Amino acid sequence: AYIPQSDTYIEKDSSINDAIDKLRHSATRSLLTRRDVLIVASVSCIYGLGSPDEYRNMHLFFAEGEDLPLEEVKRRLVTMLYERNDYALERGTFRVRGDVLEIVPPYEEDRLVRIEYFGDTVERISIVDPLRGEVLGRQPQLTLFPGSHFVTSREVLQRAIKTIKEELKERVAWFESQGRLLEAQRLEQRTEFDLEMIQELGYCNGIENYSRHLTGRRAGEPPPTLLDYFPDDFLLFIDESHVAVPQIRGMYRGDRSRKETLVEFGFRLPSALDNRPLTFEEFEARVSQVIYVSATPGDYELARAGGRVVEQIIRPTGLMDPAIEVRPASGQVDDLLEEIRKRMTRGEAVLVTTLTKRMAEDLTEYYEKLGVPVRYLHSEIDTLERMQLVQGLRRGEFSVLVGINLLREGLDIPEVSLVAILDADKEGFLRSERSLIQTCGRAARNADGRVILYADAVTPAMRRTIEETERRRRI
């Protein structure tokens, strides 16, 4: 990212989360080799990933008894972006010892493939534990996919280098015609360095920004994504769809805004704009069978369903939705204090939601002075620290967790017997019907679960929340 106002460039952290990269390779390999596949993905599935056709075409197939010269295999592995390392094998590397070839595929880390040769013939294919050297099993055939999703053949690479140079020439000339010599020099220096890396190694850091050239797409065409690796008849479940669908809608605009600044100031070629997430319309065109899953579906999902709504009251623990009580907002802090102390004597936990970060912090400070073990949770707290706070609440290190909008979907804490919603009658996003239902659901994991709405008036959102909860309790 680049911030023109302060002339601050934030370099991309090119380190790849190794575990996530392994799972990504495992997912694409499974999708290309079998039909019975279940993939769990975040909204990152709509981001550019590399052409499935090139990924599939660059595979290497081994079969026992078949001729496949070892020298040719070594050259192919390098082209497929595997690295040779005769000492320390890790994901995406291989080594050769005499007539034995050992490979660690990018989707493995605790198993390697050992291919034994007799002359130019594949004699045996084994799966081996790299630590103990023990053979775990035989495999008569093996399909090996590339070490990177952005792999391309040498012919495609040369074509891409040519078109990148042509675009660079045009863009540098445009900057110079505008008298912006700094941007022209910056772009030329960065792009030439990337081209040299691609020419010599077959890749460079940020190679995905040249994906339009590598895949031969026209300007503006959507990039290949994980969705393109699926067969046409795949089924998509969107969990918590009332949150996920708006996220999918917003990804394209946010990415576009950031990249336009990089292009405008010479950090990237204009073609980098096509390394992007799908627009919502492009996403819709790629999915045909969708099940939206939510306790509070949005208007879009209900309209798409066309009346085909299946209601599921799922109670794996046998517990009903919590009872809801409305109390006056005046004196809510002290009234809640009494309720908290009752729960503390029973060793139970309490969740409290406020409207602002300031109020969450002030309430936490006030209760701490009165001897209540309490913590607060809001968006400025790091993700890892949030997890530690939730785990601390479950272990009983403190009894009360105060939050704003993070105490909702996906937060399952059976120890919580009370959810208190302060200022429940202040209408808005945080006190909408969907938000209230989701927040109330945090108390549904405890047999004594209860919700208190502090309000001086019952708003339409509160009324619908109470009516829906009572309906589910009757069922």
Q: What percent of the chain has pLDDT over 70?
A: 97
Q: What are the residues facing 165 on neighbouring strands?
A: none
Q: Is 333 helix (H, G, I), strand (E, B) or coil?
A: helix
Position 246 scores a pLDDT of: 92
**Residue 99: both structure tokens together:** 């007539």
Q: Do domains 60-144 and 323-474 have the same CATH topology?
A: no
Q: Is 384 helix (H, G, I), strand (E, B) or coil?
A: helix
Q: Which amino acid, one-letter code, is at 421? A: I
Pick the residue with more confidence: 188 or 307? 188
CA distances from 157 to 106, 196, 253, 268, 318 (A): 22, 12, 30, 19, 59
Which is nearest to 49 in space by CA: 221, 227, 205, 191? 227
**Which letter does DSSP use for residue 313 in this model?**
-
Position 409 scores a pLDDT of: 60
Pick the residue with more confidence: 137 or 202? 137
CATH superfamily for 323-474 is P-loop containing nucleotide triphosphate hydrolases (3.40.50.300)
* Class (C level, CATH) for 60-144: alpha beta
Q: 446: which residues sit within 8 A by CB, 6+ positions away?
A: 319, 322, 348, 414, 415, 416, 417
The burial class, CB within 10 Å (0-12 / 13-18 / 19+), for 26 is: middle
Position 408 scores a pLDDT of: 62
pLDDT average, residue stretch 295-310: 88
**Residue 95: both structure tokens together:** 């080594």
Q: 382: which residues sit within 8 A by CB, 6+ positions away?
A: none
Which is nearest to 153 in space by CA: 81, 222, 258, 255? 81
**Whats the size of the chain, residue-wise?**
475
Which is nearest to 327 in space by CA: 251, 235, 420, 261? 420
Q: How far apart are CA 213 and CA 269, in angstroms?
A: 11
Position 407 scores a pLDDT of: 58
pLDDT average, residue stretch 59-85: 92
pLDDT per residue as tens digits for the range 362-386: 999 999 999 999 998 877 777 677 7
Torsion angle defined by CA atoms of residues 325, 329, 333 and 339, in that order, rounded to the nearest 10 degrees: -20
CA 20, 24, 26, 27 dihedral sign is positive
How many CA atoms does the CB half-sphere of 284 hold within 13 Å? 9
Q: Is 285 helix (H, G, I), strand (E, B) or coil?
A: helix
Confidence band, pLDDT 50/70/90 cuts, at residue 95? very high
Pick the residue with more confidence: 311 or 410? 311
pLDDT per residue as tens digits for the range 123-181: 999 999 988 889 999 999 999 999 988 888 888 888 999 999 999 999 999 999 999 99
pLDDT per residue as tens digits for the range 205-235: 888 889 899 888 888 899 899 999 999 999 9
CA distances from 393 to 6, 254, 340, 404, 413 (A): 41, 35, 14, 17, 8
**Residue 276: both structure tokens together:** 């992007």
| Averaged pLDDT of the chain | 89
> How do the domains of the chain map onto residue ranges?
2-16+152-305, 60-144, 323-474
Maximum average pLDDT range among 64-68, 356-360, 427-431 = 64-68
| Stated pTM of the model | 0.77
